[in-house]
Structure 1
Amino acid sequence: MKFYVASSFKNIDKVRYVSEQLKNKGYIHTYDWTKNKRASTFKELKQIGQKEKNAVIESDFIVILLPAGKSSHIELGIALGLNKKVILYSPNDQRKDFAKSSTFYHLSEVLKFTGTLDELVNFLTVKEKD
């Protein structure tokens, strides 16, 4: 199974943790954006954007770790448009905070998960075996 994890730079350690745990269980990471520095030119933005788009397309499922950044929401939209499995993770159920929520968080095809990162990894590995 191939996966992609989207989030914001402030969650970089959490993204790396989830990705490493999934890779240790035999899952294939389509792109590790956490290795990038923040883009400082439009050319870099374009290159990163293409890699992230391709990673979503290649994935069997994507995980969105909240709080998420601008690009994460675009990746969420791409995944939904391609009928990919989407798992929305929030340690504190941020999606229920109206001021921070997005309309797309509430779609029935978006699986929601609240808990620890280890519980999330367990959920993902059990869910994807179904």
Structure 2
Amino acid sequence: MKFYVASSFQNKEIVRSVSEKLMKNGWHHTYDWTQNNRACSLEALQKIGTLEKQAVADSDVVIVILPGGKGSHIELGMAIAWQKKTFLYSPNFEAMDMETTSTFYHLPEVWICAGSVEELISTILSVTTEF
């Protein structure tokens, strides 16, 4: 399986942890944006955006870790539109709070996960073995 993990820079360590655990299960990471520094020019934004868009397109599974920024939510939209298996990790239950949630979090094709990273990985592996 090929996967991509979307989130914000503040969650870089969680993104790396999720990626490592999936790769230990034989999965392929389509793009590791955590290796980047923050973009400091419009050209850099375009280059990174192109790579991230391609990574979502190439993935079987997209994982979005909250809280996420603008880019994460665009990647969530692409994943839904391209009918990727989509998992939303909401460790602080933001997805269930009416003040912070989004209608798109609650689409039937989005699996909302809470709890530990290990529980997230377990859910992803169990759901994807059905396909």
Report the TM-score range of the alignment, normalised by the length of the smaller protein. Answer: over 0.9
Aligned-partner Cα distance in 2 for 1:128–1:107: 18
What do you get for the CA RMSD once the two structures are aligned?
Answer: 0.8
Which amino acid is the alignment partner of residue 18 of structure 2?
V
How high is the sequence identity, in percent, across the aligned residues?
A: 50
Which amino acid is the alignment partner of residue 108 of structure 1?
P
After TM superposition, the structure 1 = structure 2 runs for residues 68-83 of structure 1, keeping only pairs within 5 Å, are 68-83=68-83
Which amino acid is the alignment partner of residue 31 of structure 2?
Y
Aligned-partner Cα distance in 2 for 1:110–1:124: 11
Deviation at 1:99, TM superposition (A): 2.1
After TM superposition, the structure 1 = structure 2 runs for residues 12-51 of structure 1, keeping only pairs within 5 Å, are 12-51=12-51
Deviation at 1:98, TM superposition (A): 1.9
Corresponding residue SS for 1:123: helix
Gaps (5+ residues) in structure 2? none
Which amino acid is the alignment partner of residue 98 of structure 1?
M
**Runs of at least 4 residues of structure 1 off by over 3 A?**
none
Aligned to 1:11: 11
When normalised by structure 2's length, the TM-score is 0.96
Deviation at 1:122, TM superposition (A): 1.4
Aligned-partner Cα distance in 2 for 1:79–1:125: 18
When normalised by structure 1's length, the TM-score is 0.97
Aligned-partner Cα distance in 1 for 2:105–2:126: 22
Deviation at 1:119, TM superposition (A): 1.0
Offset from partner CA, 1:2-21 (integer Å, 9 cap, x none): 00000010000000000000
Number of matched pairs = 130
Deviation at 1:103, TM superposition (A): 1.6
Gaps (5+ residues) in structure 1? none
Corresponding residue SS for 1:86: strand
